[in-house]
Amino acid sequence: MIVVPMAVVLGLSAVLFGIGMFGFLARRNIILMLVSVEVMLNAVNLSLAGFSRQWNDPRGQMLALFVIAVAAAEVGVGLGLIIALNRNRSTADVDDLTKLKW
């Protein structure tokens, strides 16, 4: 049973990825940049699940599962870094994190 053609799934995935990319590049708040990364990861996982269905091959789902595991690790380290940053500078703004700049 194929509900929709693969191209529709890929197009939805591309639109979601574009939204996440805009958010990552445009937002100031560093936490919301990480939120945008989550949107992009979901877009890629969606296309992987679609490929898995299309080619009748479980490897796509496996890859999506590992992407989820690595995303969990990324969130743990990323948010730990944000907490460490926030302890030194009371801000969540990437434009304020200029300690290396003279």
CB of 63 to another protein, least distance (A): 9
- In the Cβ-directed half-sphere of 6, how many Cα atoms lie within 13 Å? 10
If one asks whether residue 2 binds another protein (CB under 8 A), the answer comes out as yes
If one asks whether residue 36 binds another protein (CB under 8 A), the answer comes out as yes
Q: Which of 44, 74, 99, 101 binds another protein (CB under 8 A)?
A: 74
Q: Which of 80, 97, 99, 102 binds another protein (CB under 8 A)?
A: 80
If one asks whether residue 21 binds another protein (CB under 8 A), the answer comes out as yes
Residue 28 identity (one-letter amino acid): R
CA nearest to 39, candidates 29, 24, 28, 50: 24
If one asks whether residue 100 binds another protein (CB under 8 A), the answer comes out as no
CA nearest to 23, candidates 83, 15, 47: 15
